[in-house]
Each structure stands twice: as C-alpha cells, then as structure tokens.
A = this chain, B = another copy of it.
Amino acid sequence: MTDRLSTTLSALADPTRRAILARLTLGEASVTELAEPFDMSLPGLSKHLKVLERAGLIARGREAQWRPCRLEAGPLKDVADWLEQYRRFWEQSLDRLGDYLRELQAKEKKHGRKK
C-alpha cells in the first residue's frame, strides 16, 4: 500500500501531468479540451487523468456528459506543508550564498583599483 504523500508526489513527477494541472488553474476543462495542447491521444491522456484522479489532484463532474475535470488543490497543500520543515535549510544556503557574494563585493571594492 502506498501512502498518500507518495501517491501525490509520484502523480506530480511527470511534466504532462503537471501541465494538465497548470491548464486547470484556468478553469474546468473537458478531456477533449485538455488533449488539444498536448497533441496526445485520448487514451494516453485518460491514463494521466486517472493517475491525477487517484491522487485526488483532479475531480471529474458526474452530471454533464462531457465530465469536466477540475483542479483539487488539497494534496498540493499537503506537499507544501511537508516541505515547510526543510525551509530553514534552503534559506540557510541562500543566506550563505548572500554572505559569500557580499564578501566578494567587499574584496572587489578594496582591491578593484589596484590593477
């Protein structure tokens, strides 16, 4: 059995599936509408949609015959929440890079005109 976070991350680990999510930020879309920009067969696209639906990243309308897809952002929030524990680590590295750049600039100011 796969845990929820792994299912979400694995669903997101594909550029076409991420592009589908990005398209859905513009609003609901039918499968045919989604297939257009990707130049992809409907069965190929359906496979990606199933992965996204299983991960709870999209939902599909039951009522209309065209069953529009819409974005479900809940699992993305879970990934963002999980990432928060690492924020201090990437901010530390950016701080260190900033320190290093300031050091370089200071040295340049000091020695720049001696050449």
A3 x B25 contact (CB < 8 A): no
A80, CB-defined interface residue at 8 Å: yes
**Size band of the A side of the interface?**
20 to 34
A87 x B80 contact (CB < 8 A): yes
Report A1-39 CB contacts with B as 1/0, cut-off 8 Å: 001011101101111001001100100000000000000
Which residues of B have CB within 8 Å of A7?
A: 13
Give the CA-CA distance A6 to B74 in the complex, in Å: 20
- Give, as a whole number of angstroms, the nearest-CB distance from A39 to chain B: 18
A76, CB-defined interface residue at 8 Å: yes
Task: Scan residues 45-87 of chain A and give those whose CB is less than 8 A from a CB of chain B.
Answer: 71, 73-74, 76-77, 79-80, 82-83, 85-87
